[in-house]
Amino acid sequence: MPSSCVGCAVPAVAIDGAQYPQMRISMSEIIGIHHAQVTAPKGSGDEVRRFYGTVLGLTEIPVPETMTKYGLIWFQCGPSQLHVGQEDGIERAKTGAHLAYHVIDMKAWRARLSQQGLELVEQPKIAGYDRFHIHDPFGNKIEIIGPE
| Among positions 19, 41, 139, 143, the unique one binding other proteins when judged by CB under 8 A | 143
Q: Which residues contact 68 (CB under 8 A, 6 or more apart)?
A: none
Count residues near other proteins (CB under 8 A).
55
| Among positions 15, 97, 120, 121, the unique one binding other proteins when judged by CB under 8 A | 97
104 is a site residue for other proteins (CB under 8 A): yes
| Among positions 108, 114, 119, 148, the unique one binding other proteins when judged by CB under 8 A | 108
The span of 13-21, 41-49, 97-105, 113-121 binding other proteins (CB under 8 A) equals 97-105
CB of 119 to other proteins, least distance (A): 19
Tell me which residues in 20-79 interact with other proteins (CB under 8 A): 27-39, 56-58, 64-67, 70, 77-79
End-to-end CA, the chain = 39
* Beta bridge partner(s), residue 75: 60, 82
What is the 8-class DSSP label of residue 119?
Answer: P
CB atoms within 10 A of CB 103: 17
Please name which of 40, 78, 42 lies closest in space to residue 58, comparing C-alpha atoms. 78
Measured from the CB atom, is 119 or 126 closer to other proteins?
Answer: 126
The CA dihedral of 109, 96, 52, 40, to the nearest 10 degrees, is -160
CB atoms within 10 A of CB 28: 8
Q: For binding to other proteins (CB under 8 A), which residues are involved?
A: 7-9, 27-39, 56-58, 64-67, 70, 77-80, 82, 85, 87, 89-91, 94-105, 108-109, 112, 124, 126-127, 140, 143, 145
